Structure 1
Amino acid sequence: MSDSDIIATHTADAGAPPAEDRVHDKEDRLRREFVREVFDAVADGDDERARGLVAELHPADIADLIELAPGDERADLIEALAGIVDAEVFAELNEHVREDVIDEMEPQQVADLAAQLDTDDAVALIEDLEEDDQRAVLRAMEPDDRAAVEEALTFGEETAGRLMQRDLIAVPEHWNVGQVIDYLRSTEELATDFWEIFVVSPDHHPVGTCKLSTVLRSPRSMQVGDIMLKKQTLIPIDMDQEEVALKFQKYGLISAAVIDPVGRLVGMVTVDDIVHIIQEEAGEDALLLSGAGEGDINEPIGETYKSRVRWLAANLLTALVAATIISFFEESIERMAVLAALMPIVAGVGGNAGTQTLAVTVRAIATNQLTGTNHWRTVWREIRVALMNGLTIAVLIGVGVTVVLGSTPLGAVIAAAMLTNIVVAGLAGVLVPLGLERAGADPAVASSVFVTMITDSLGFLMFLGLATAAGLAG
């Protein structure tokens, strides 16, 4: 068969409709029927059938299967899939599920798994173990693996030091392409997965990078220093993983060199690790804004309770502030009961306006779109947006109250209160997270509590205060 025939065949195959996938649904999730079939095989003691069903699955799919199993059935499932549930599967497991599974394993088993993984994945495997269990696992590891993991554990959580891999390819710039290729082919103890080669000076400082495609397409006699890219993105070892992810996103990186405080090359971060970080960070701020903790359905109930109840208690305190303001106007509410029906509208719409601005601001801070250079321009932008929104909603509610309740003064009062509250909500939504960031706090953690307190309290104060001042409840 000629090359053109092969290409034509592949093209025809690519255009053919795919056969129905009995394992995955349209959203690439494991089908319920398939999962049930595997679980039934394990329950019936038919381990061979269970292994046959999952043998061709990707490690990530096997990890999903383990996570879908009830907690008291996971050990039996893993035992039935012996030989298939390997280190790669453990690296893909949800951290809470992985912790539960590892707690049931012997230190030597955990050490054997860690030895098969890149340093960053090995650290993730054992970093949450109890201190005694962690020491036992480290003692069971080979000296080189243990030293790498122990060094990684000295770095702060969610830093480049924890995230990086230590297995990389580094060559001197005076080598030629032929020497590099011979080195890659003849040296056994090298990284197995890499996309670029780092070029270093005699004191091991990174001076450039070479893509594999460039190396392979260059003559053997060509000097590495002549084909390398001198401009590269260097990652300090103590950089927060969120900032690392932003650099990968901004500059379209596949991998990047990690340097120690004196500028020496100590590791690399690859895009496959960054994908996980971007996914985590994307959902983290939304969960923090709601006070829902990690938002992980595999998180232990006790931890979920503790992370949520403290924010509910904080919300209770802010609600008491609003209730106290309402108590100052009891007589006005008694004289004109319709005020009690209308005042939640002012606070509720103001709260929604504040939440909109808050969500945009927190995201802009997280993605480095909002900085000290443009924050006042952003504040002015949000004021204008709030004014336009406030005027629109104020006119609608004012006309509505006037028509329905037949009271022009009451319509004017609620319109004025609504306009004021929406404008203040917009200001609070941008100034509160900016203030928290300047104070060194995470703007996503407590912003919503403060913004809610401001919009509720001010909404009630403005509406009831104006109504009282206008003599509507007289």
Structure 2
Amino acid sequence: MSETELRVADDDSQLDADDRLRPEFVDAVLDAVEAGHAEEARALVEPLHPADIADLFELTPEDRRAALAAALADLLDADVFAEMNDYVREDVIDTLDARQVADIASELDTDDAVAIIEDLDADEQREVLRAMEPDDRAAIEEALSYPEESAGRLMQRELIAVPEHWTIGDTIDFLRGSEELTTDFWEVFVVDPAHRPVGTVALSWILRTPRSVAIADVMQREQTLIPVDMDQEEVALRFQKYALISAAVVDASGRLVGMITVDDVVHIIQEEAGEDTLKLAGAGDGDINEPIAVTVRTRVAWLVVNLGATMLSASVVGLFQGEIARFALLAALMPIVSALGGNAGTQTLAVVVRALATNQLTSSNTARMLFREFRVAIFNGAALGTVGALGSYVILGNAGLSTVFALSMIFNSIVAGLVGVVVPVALDKANVDPAVSSAVFVTTITDVMGFFSFLGLATLWGLGH
């Protein structure tokens, strides 16, 4: 046994208490690869679950992934690629030829195969598709014809469908007698002669019902059908609302073309939950494996927009430079007004964007939501204004300045609450993603109104004279 194997063997497990690969194990595998001991590296990695092998590649520096992939080529099966981070998977696939990629894609469910192939360049896509079996190629090409992040891309075509005139016995004989059927399913879809879904039967019902009973007598006729062009976020909302395990996907004519299962939806919920938060911050995908050039390009664009908004706010301050010069304490307090207004607006914005994303906020309750946030803004503004006035008076000892400070905070809090609702709702009505565009508008408005209200009230109060 080599020194590397001895070091890992002395440890209780390759995983720590949180089921993450231990740094010592990762180093041992990479050291074995670097030393040219491919068999040793494979022996260390072979006991791992496919998800842990995928994690190993994600924990490996980008410049060492190609060597690791070459050493572990025999272990890189479809299950490992299905678990990989998108950016890491692209790196590893670049080390494989078209035939290897085609073999891996052929072993996957259609939705997972599409996830691999859709990220390839057009030329690489054609080369991989040419290397696939005709049936697999046709299924992938059909999936790629649907819009990105739609049910058509997400669905898998491997499902069980039986005619409504069959009995339970016919269904069981069919399931047992065909070796080409998918092995992972929770329910059987029942279809009419035109292949339109008319109901579903859970496996538990099939197992517990006498063979002579007609399938139509035990099927559940109420079902949630997913249009093939539905956005994946809406698909996830339907699964969440109706507690679905799987659902039929239908084309424009109502024919059954695929199914979506809850394991796919879990990934969507996770992606969408983080996506809106990252969009609000202008952080792009927020993936630590994202290429630096892509990250810089995304963040710089957002920061440039924010720079323009900040310059607009600064122009408002410039209108009152005379008052500020005569009464310098204004410069000490005005950033507080704009900052607290921005924070209040961001709070409201986050709530509204989430409500829009989960369909909690609709046309029927927008006015109620606006009135609710208006009341919250008044209470928050009153609390902030009171505390701010007392604090500023204790520190600065100027009653007039403290009064202006309090009034401007109340005013800007109300503005923040209103724009935090109005801006994302208006953008949503205009079919613009509110998660992407709302923050810059809300921040700019609260900054401008914060400076304008504070400095304007100070001028009217005569603090600069």
**TM-score range for the pair, normalised by the shorter chain length:** over 0.9
What does residue 452 of structure 1 align with? 443
In the other structure, the counterpart of 1:119 is 110
Report SS of the residue matched to 2:352: helix
Rounded to whole Å, the distance in 2 between the matches of 1:367 and 1:374 is 14
Question: Does structure 1 conserve the Cα–Cα contact (< 8 Å) formed by 2:69 and 2:95?
Answer: no
SS in 2 for 1:266: strand
Q: How far apart in 2 are the matches of 1:46 and 1:439?
A: 59
Is 1:148 the counterpart of 2:142 in the alignment? no
**How many residue pairs were aligned?**
455
- Name which of 175, 187, 207 aligns with 1:184: 175
Shift of 1:49: 2.4
Pick one of 297, 300, 303 that aligns with 2:294. 303
> Structure 1 residues 171, 303: CA separation in 2 closer, same or farther (over 3 Å shift)?
same
Partner of 2:8: none
Residue 430 in 1 paired to residue 413 in 2? no
Structure 1 residues 91-170: aligned runs within 5 Å = 91-170=82-161
The alignment partner of 1:231 has SS state of coil
Q: 1:38 aligned to 2:25?
A: no
Aligned to 2:320: 329
Q: Distance in 1 between matches of 2:203 and 2:446?
A: 57
Q: Spell out, residue by residue over 1:375-412, the C-alpha distance to the aligned partner (whole angstroms, 9 max, x if none).
A: 11111110011110000000111111122211111111
AA aligned opposite 1:192: T
Q: Superposition pairs for residues 250-399 of structure 1, below 5 Å?
A: 250-399=241-390
C-alpha deviations, 1:222-259, integer Å up to 9, x for none?
11001111111100000000000111111111110000
Rounded to whole Å, the distance in 2 between the matches of 1:194 and 1:152 is: 20
| Whole-Å separation in 2 of the counterparts to 1:368 and 1:59 | 36
Per-residue CA deviation, residues 314-347 of structure 1 (Å, 9 max, x unaligned), is: 0001001110000011111111111101100000
Question: Take 1:375 and 1:136, find their aligned partners in 2: how far apart are those partners?
Answer: 51
Q: In structure 2, what is the Cα distance between the partners aligned to 1:78 and 1:439?
A: 46
Q: Distance in 1 between matches of 2:50 and 2:103?
A: 18
Moved more, 98-107 or 452-461: 98-107
State TM-score, norm by structure 1: 0.94
Cα-to-partner distance string for 1:415-438 (whole Å, 9 max, x where unaligned): 000000011001111111001000
Letter aligned with residue 343 of structure 2: N
Cα distance in 1 for partners of 2:319, 2:13 equals 65
Structure 1 unpaired stretches of 5+: 1-19
Mapped partners of 1:170, 1:444: distance in 2: 40
- Is 1:406 aligned to residue 418 of structure 2? no
Structure 1 CA distance for aligned equivalents of residues 61 and 30 of structure 2: 10
Instruction: Answer yes or no: is 1:219 the counterpart of 2:210.
Output: yes
Match of 2:458, SS?
Answer: helix
1:331 aligned partner, one-letter code: G
Structure 1 CA distance, aligned partners of 2:174 and 2:12? 43
In the alignment, which residue of structure 1 is the partner of 2:219? Answer: 228
| Counterpart AA for 1:268 | M
Deviation at 1:21, TM superposition (A): 5.7
Counterparts of 2:142 and 2:202 in 1: how far apart (Å)?
29
Is 1:197 matched with 2:197?
A: no
CA distance in 2, matches of 1:210, 1:81: 42
Q: Which deviates the most, 170-179 or 28-37?
A: 28-37
CA distance in 2, matches of 1:415, 1:443: 31
Using the TM superposition, name which of 90-99 and 343-352 deviates more.
Answer: 90-99
Residues 69 and 92, structure 2, Cα contact 8 Å, conserved in 1: no
Write the letter of the residue equivalent to 2:47: E
Match of 1:248 among 223, 226, 239: 239
SS in 2 for 1:83: helix
Aligned partners of 2:418, 2:275: CA distance in 1, in Å? Answer: 24
4+ residue stretches of structure 1 with deviation over 4 A? none
Residue equivalent to 1:7: none
Shift of 1:103: 2.0
User: Shift of the alpha carbon at 1:465?
Assistant: 0.7
Residue identity in the other structure for 1:65? L
In 2, Cα distance between equivalents of 1:96 and 1:158: 17
Give 3-state SS (helix, strand or coil) of 1:235's partner: strand
SS at match of 1:268: strand
Once the two structures are TM-superposed, the CA of residue 184 in structure 1 deviates from its matched residue by 0.6
Structure 2 distance, partners of 1:104, 1:43, is: 17
SS at match of 1:210: strand
What is the distance in 2 between the residues matched to 1:447 and 1:26? 41
Percent identity, aligned pairs only? 62
Cα deviations across residues 167-196 of structure 1 (Å, max 9, x unaligned)? Answer: 100001111111111101111111121110
Provide Cα deviations, 1:44-102, integer angstroms capped at 9, x if missing partner: 22222222222121111110101111112111112212221111111111111111221
* Maintained 8 Å contact 2:201/2:218: yes
3-state DSSP class of the match of 2:74?
A: coil
Paired AA for residue 46 in structure 1: H
Structure 1 residues 423 and 21, CA gap change in structure 2 (3 angstroms): farther
Unmatched segments (≥5 aa) in structure 2: 1-10
- C-alpha displacement of 1:464: 0.6
Determine helix, strand or coil for the equivalent of 2:193: coil
The aligned amino acid for 2:29 is V
Amino acid at match of 1:87: A
Partners of 2:306 and 2:367 lie apart in 1 by: 29
